[in-house]
Amino acid sequence: MFERIPKGGLIALCAVTSLAGCGEPRQQGAVRSLQDDGDRALSVYVVNYPLQFFAQRIGGELVQVEFPAPADVDPAYWSPDPDLVSAYQGADLTLLNGASYAGWIERTTLPPSKLVNTSASFADRHIFVESAVTHSHGPEGDHSHGEFAFTTWLDPTLAAEQAEAILQAFIAAYPEGEDVFQEGFDALADDLQALDQRLAAVFAGMAGKPLLGSHPVYQYLARRYDLDLKSVHFEPGENPPENAWWDLQKILAQHPAAWMLWEGEPLPETSSTLGELGVRSVVFDPCGNAPEEGDFLSVMSENVSNLAEAFGN
Amino acid sequence: MRQTLYLAWRYLSYHRVKTLILLVSITLIIYLPIGLRVLVDQSSQQLTARAAATPLIVGAKGSPLELVLNTLYFRSDYPEIMRYEQVTRVTDADLAIAIPMYVRFNAQGHPIVGTGYEYFEYRGLDIVDGRQLGMLGECVVGSRVAEALDVGPGDFVISSPESVFDLAGVYPLKMRVAGVLGFSDTADDDAIFVDVRTTWIIEGLGHGHQDLSRPEAASVVLTRDSTNVVGSAAVVQYNEITEDNIESFHFHGDISQNPVTAVIALPPDQKSSALLQGRYQGEDEPAQIVRPVNVMNELLGTILSVQSFITAGAVIVGMATLATAALVFMLSLRLRRREIETLFKIGGSRLSVASVMTSEIIAVLLAGVILAGGLTFLTGQFGSAAIRAFIRM
């Protein structure tokens, strides 16, 4: 008769309790440190070719340097697509040029702790582009979207400071590789010093003489070597419009330059018209993007040769 | 023995109302203090788990509790605003990773959390649908937000004005959902995450508008010279950031003066933590640095003292109920005198009769203990979820 005692309630209770489950709050971990990855190479993304070159020279085999901008764009004005932004987000370090270079950085979400502004150490020596147009609307009053000149690497002494920032970032991220990084940096610093001396020699005769730049990218070069340089907005692959020629003539009236530095070989018609105005062309490639042949130093060496040939040094 | 148990069972099932009342009373007497204890312990664990996982929070001087609740749970009024330079200050100290937090706005009832990329890595939040925040104007939504608003990658969430009367203030920003976060069973599930700069755009500190230098903008240009273009109030400003107009978005003034509500600081070790805390001890210091776990423990101390009162009350009520139950049993013995006499007359020994009576009492007590145990177990399993659901109501 005892068997008749109903057990349904307790059985149901047991079933409910055994099936019951509730997720505990997720384990929250600290931000991954690079040292957790053992001996693997650092994954480094950069925003222009000079930084890629510096990083590769310093990091050697210990770093994987990625510069995903297409070869036919100016990396300063290029923007990565969302997939590439994800790739930048996943990098151990992202090397920035600073000085307003690569505006997309300001409009995307990247991990600040992994960003290295390689020109931060000389932020007080960035060159502000004074011709920036301000505008005003609404209650905020005047404001400017002005920019800094950004081709900092054209001053080899600043390039060396950028390289040193990369060295420090690499050591901080991967202390075990310090010897390799230091060795790479020392060699690079020597090369940059040699480049500086060669440029100083080739520009020695041009100090104070009027000079033109086809594009406003030579500010740091001009400051370093005491060049009296004014810039226009001529593209090597395009014939400048008529009003650009008028503007050039106005400039030449005040600034009688005999040479114009070009980022690439100008069109023959452009060279010819310039010749009629008494201005000859010489190519000085800033090398913001990867060259088709050679590397940063070989391009700079060719620039020096072009200048030496042009200026007769 | 079986006969004794059978007689006890038959008696209890016959007097089912009385048995049920006794059972419920005993169950509640046992369950209330224990269940309450379990519930409070779970709440404590819940609150302190997130706080303990957050080493330090830097905020403007003010209520530490408000700062912690806002930063960790995105609840309460937003604390005193401080400047973004405080984020840079933590970074520059080189003692911790600094994660900015700006929790002020909301979209359709869900908090908009302006933060940095590192927040997701730090909290272990993974994207289960879509991708991470890519560009300004995008958001990633918590799992419960995705469910409640029925949104996924490619859909839009629109920020809400702070006040219906705030016609000239914050204007709605249409934010594209880039991804949905996995369920984490934390406050992150109920939040909409954006880049901290997107919250500044919501606030109007940054904006995008038509290019005033272009011919099609001539109708909204008041004056123009070589260095300045003055636009009228009719300049078209964008309320959605797209690939086409993103380059026109910009911030006015000094970014370091833009607002944040807190900085989560993640020092790598105790020494860095101590050094960083030491930097905020000055009397003229505009910011405070708090250890969230200390703030939450203080709060829990208050809750635990309230719990002690409730437990004491429950114990007193329990004693009264037990006394009443004893009285019920004693009265029922008196009422059952004829039944007991009948048992004697049909040959039942004194021991057998006492056994029947004792079995009834033990059965009721045992059932009460089992039910209370079951309820406590259920509380342990579902209590935390119930608390969170209650808090969200």
B109 forms bridges with which residues in the sheet? none
Chain B residues touching A138 at Cβ < 8 A: 231, 233, 235
Angstroms from A116 CA to nearest CA on chain B: 12
User: Does the pLDDT of residue B15 top 60, yes or no?
Assistant: yes
Which residue does chain B place closest to A15, by CA atoms?
B374
> Taking each helix axis from N to C terminus, what angle separates B2-14 and B350-392, rounded to the nearest 10 degrees?
50
Percent of chain B past pLDDT 90, that is, above it, reads: 41
Helix (H, G, I), strand (E, B) or coil at B338: helix
Residue numbers of chain A with a pLDDT score lower than 70: 1-40, 130-146, 313
> B265 - beta bridge partners?
B56, B98
**Chain B: nearest CA to A307, how far in angstroms?**
34
* Beta-carbon separation of B98 and A112 below 8 A: yes
Phi and psi (nearest 5°) for B182?
-70, 160
- pLDDT for residue B246: 77
Strands B192-195 and B138-141: antiparallel
Beta-carbon separation of B220 and A137 below 8 A? yes
Task: Kindly give the pairing relationship between strand B138-141 and strand B174-181.
Answer: parallel
State whether residue B143 sits within 8 Å of chain A by CB. no
Higher local confidence (pLDDT), A134 or B79: B79
Question: What is the distance between the alpha carbons of residues B237 and B234, in angstroms, rounded to a whole number?
Answer: 9
Give the CATH fold of the A42-196 domain: Rossmann fold (3.40.50)
Considering only the beta carbons, identify the residue of B117, B134, B374 that sits closest to A17. B374
Structure tokens given for A179: 């010897």
* Whole-number average pLDDT of chain B: 85
Q: What residues does each domain of chain A span?
A: 42-196, 204-311
Segment 49-78 of chain B within 8 Å of chain A by CB? 49-50, 53
**pLDDT for position A11:** 32
What architecture does CATH give domain A204-311?
3-Layer(aba) Sandwich (3.40)
Token pair 């169950």 is found at B27
Sign for the pseudo-dihedral over CA of B368, B371, B372, B373: positive
| Residue B321 binned pLDDT confidence (cut-offs 50, 70, 90) | confident
**What ipTM did this prediction achieve?**
0.75
Q: In this predicted structure, what is the pLDDT of residue B12?
A: 87
Equal CATH topology for A42-196 and A204-311: yes
pLDDT at B324 over 90: no
A281 backbone dihedrals φ, ψ, rounded to 5°: -105, 140
B48 touches chain A (CB under 8 A): no
- Determine the pLDDT at residue B119: 96
Residue found under tokens 């020109």: A119
Lowest mean pLDDT among A67-81, A192-206, B91-105, B334-348: B334-348
Q: Which residues of A touch B252 (CB under 8 A)?
A: 140, 143
Q: Is the pLDDT assigned to residue B215 strictly greater than 80?
A: no
Query: What's the whole-number mean pLDDT along residues B185-209?
Result: 89
Cβ atoms < 10 Å from Cβ of A301:
16
Put simply, the answer to whether B184 touches A137 (Cβ < 8 Å) is no
Q: What single letter denotes the amino acid at residue A191?
A: D
Q: Which residue of A has its CA nearest to B201?
A: A107
Task: Extract the runs of DSSP E, i.e. beta strands, from B314-380.
Answer: none
pLDDT in the model for residue A313? 63
Could B136 and A108 be called an inter-chain contact, meaning their C-beta atoms sit closer than 8 Å? yes
The stretch B3-10 carries a mean pLDDT of: 84
Q: What is the DSSP string of B128-155?
A: EEE----BTTEEEE-HHHHHHHT--TT-
| Cβ neighbours of residue B389 closer than 8 Å, sequence gap 6 or more | none
CA-wise closest residue to A5 among B25, B329, B346, B366: B366
Nearest-Cα residue of chain A relative to residue B193:
A109
Tell me whether B16 touches chain A (CB under 8 Å): no
Residue A175: strand, helix, or coil? helix
pLDDT of residue A70: 94
> What distance in Å separates the CA atoms of residue A245 and residue B170, rounded to the nearest whole number?
47
List of chain B residues whose C-beta atoms are within 8 Å of the C-beta of residue A131: 227
Q: Are strands B206-208 and B110-115 parallel, antiparallel or unpaired?
A: unpaired
Contact status of B283 with chain A (Cβ, < 8 Å)? no
Q: Which of A27, A134, A135 sits opposite B124 (nearest CB)?
A: A27
Tokens of B286: 């505009």
Backbone conformation region of residue A289, classed left if phi is above 0, alpha if psi is from -120 to 50, else beta: beta
Number of H helices, E strands in chain A: 9, 10
DSSP string, A9-46: HHHHHHHHHHH---PPPPPP-PPPPGGGGTTPPEEEEE
**Rounded mean pLDDT of B309-314?**
77
**β-bridge pairing B110-115 and B97-107:** antiparallel
- Is the CB of residue B168 less than 8 Å away from at least one CB of chain A? no
Closest CA to B119 of A113, A117, A172, A43: A113
